[in-house]
Each structure stands twice: as structure tokens, then as C-alpha cells.
């Protein structure tokens, strides 16, 4: 299933989606900047131009092994003439293109792979294109941060049990009291916290007093005598 998001570009909501690892941007939403009443006509006018067909055809040849080049050649020859018309649906049906996708039904629209969408935005408005690129890059940077954070969470979940078992086996002598063992567990848990998150559980609490739990940091539960993971709840 495609993952969808919305970015705000100059007070306009622009839908995005990621399908099979490919980023798409809704060019119907972009077209509304030129004609809010009939954005479909804006897309069709752009697609009937010869330089647009040249760009779309080259993109497909580079990225789509199933692109029908034989069917594309006569379209390119006709593009730009007064009688030539082109729509996203017709383009996909004739050439098996993947750079443009049409979604039907409520909330539907025409989506284009991000490079194609940027090309279309440039045709609509150079200023809008620049803002679109900036906001899209901001979205992708945020996603990458989330991916990195998630990876740390999963790695800490894998490591914490191994680490606490190792503490019990090798660092805690049989003769120490329960209170002394608790201190050793807590100190060793923070070794992982510093390695994974750059801070101890106490340091995080002090820096984030409004939150009531650490962001998946290892915390030692003195009542259960065990280490556990805390999730962000603020």
C-alpha cells in the first residue's frame, strides 16, 4: 500500500505518496496554482507539448524496462501540433508508463514521480517549484530522521536483553546485596544509553522535564529488579 503525506507549499496542500520505494507528488494539486477550477486541463495542456513528451519518454526509457518505445515514437512526432491531445490516462495506456499515475475516486488525482512533478511545477511557476522542492526535501529529511530513530529503538531492544544477561553472568558477584546489584544494572544500562542515544536516562529526564518517560532509553526498575525499555509518551 502506498504511503501518503501532505506538504504545505505557499499555503497550498500538496499530496505526496511513496509506492514501492518511488516518491510521487500530486500534479493535480500543483495545477490548481494555475487553474483552480480545471486543474486537469492544465495537466493536459502541459502533456501535449513536444518538449514535455520528449522529457517523459526519456525518463521512461531510463527507468521503465516495459516502456513501449514503438508506440511512443508516433506520439512524439505528433506532439505540439494543433490537433494533438494527451492525457495522463491515455499516456499510461498507450506506453505502459510508470512515471505518471492516476488515482480515481474521492481524493483522487494525477501523481507524477518527483522529478517529473518538479518539471511540471517549473512550467506552472518557477517560484512555486522552488518552494515545492524545499518543502519536499524537508519532508524527506524528517523521514530519514525517523528511520534512524526507529533503527536505534530496534537495536536497543535486541541488545538490552543480551547486555543485562551478560551483566548478571559476569559483572555481579554472588555475594553482593540486592541493592548493590541494582546499582550495577543501572550503571551498565546507561552504557548502552550513551552509546545509542548520546545521553543517560537521567540526563534525558533533566533535559525533558515535561515528559514522563525516556525515548526508548534503558531504565532500571528497582522494584522488578530488571532493565526495561521506556517509550516516549509526551
Query: Cα–Cα distance between 199 and 80 in angstroms, integer?
Result: 62
Of 190, 221, 224, residue with least CA distance to 204 = 190
Query: Cα–Cα distance between 148 and 153 in angstroms, integer?
Result: 9
pLDDT along the chain (234 residues), means of 10: 85 92 95 95 96 97 96 95 95 97 88 96 96 92 70 58 55 53 56 64 72 49 44 42
pLDDT at 75: 96
pLDDT at 119: 97
pLDDT at 120: 97
Query: Cα–Cα distance between 90 and 55 in angstroms, integer?
Result: 17
Of 125, 107, 116, 144, residue with least CA distance to 13 = 107
**Which ranges of 33-99 does DSSP label H, i.e. alpha helix?**
39-47, 50-63, 69-78, 88-95
pLDDT at 106: 76
3-state SS, residue 109: strand
Query: pTM score, two decimals?
Result: 0.64
pLDDT at 226: 45
With b for 16 or more beta-carbon neighbours within 10 A and e for fewer, the 169-189 pattern comes to eeeeeeeeeeeebbebbbebb
pLDDT at 142: 83
Phi, psi of 68 (to 5 degrees): -90, 85
Amino acid at each position: 500500500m502506498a504511503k501518503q503525506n501532505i506538504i504545505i507549499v505557499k499555503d497550498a496542500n500538496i499530496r505526496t505518496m511513496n509506492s514501492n520505494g518511488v516518491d510521487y507528488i500530486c500534479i493535480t494539486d500543483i495545477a490548481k496554482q494555475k487553474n483552480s477550477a480545471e486543474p486537469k486541463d492544465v495537466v493536459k495542456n502541459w502533456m501535449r507539448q513536444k518538449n514535455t513528451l520528449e522529457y517523459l519518454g526519456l525518463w521512461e526509457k531510463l527507468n521503465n524496462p516495459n516502456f513501449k518505445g514503438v508506440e511512443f515514437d508516433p506520439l512524439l512526432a505528433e506532439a505540439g501540433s494543433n490537433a494533438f491531445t494527451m492525457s495522463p490516462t491515455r499516456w499510461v495506456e498507450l506506453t505502459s508508463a510508470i512515471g505518471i499515475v492516476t488515482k480515481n475516486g474521492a481524493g483522487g488525482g494525477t501523481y507524477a514521480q518527483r522529478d517529473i512533478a518538479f518539471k511540471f511545477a517549473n512550467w506552472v511557476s518557477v517560484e512555486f517549484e522552488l518552494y515545492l522542492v524545499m518543502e519536499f526535501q524537508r519532508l524527506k529529511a524528517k523521514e530519514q530522521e525517523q528511520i534512524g530513530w526507529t533503527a536505534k529503538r530496534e537495536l536497543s531492544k535486541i541488545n538490552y536483553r543480551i547486555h543485562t544477561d551478560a551483566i548478571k553472568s559476569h559483572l555481579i558477584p554472588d555475594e553482593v546485596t540486592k541493592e548493590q546489584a541494582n546499582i550495577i544494572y543501572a550503571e551498565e544500562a546507561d552504557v548502552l544509553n550513551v552509546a545509542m542515544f548520546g545521553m543517560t536516562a537521567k540526563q534525558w529526564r533533566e533535559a525533558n522535564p515535561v515528559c514522563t518517560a525516556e525515548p526508548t532509553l534503558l531504565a532500571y526498575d528497582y522494584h522488578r529488579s530488571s532493565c526495561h525499555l521506556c517509550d516516549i509518551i509526551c
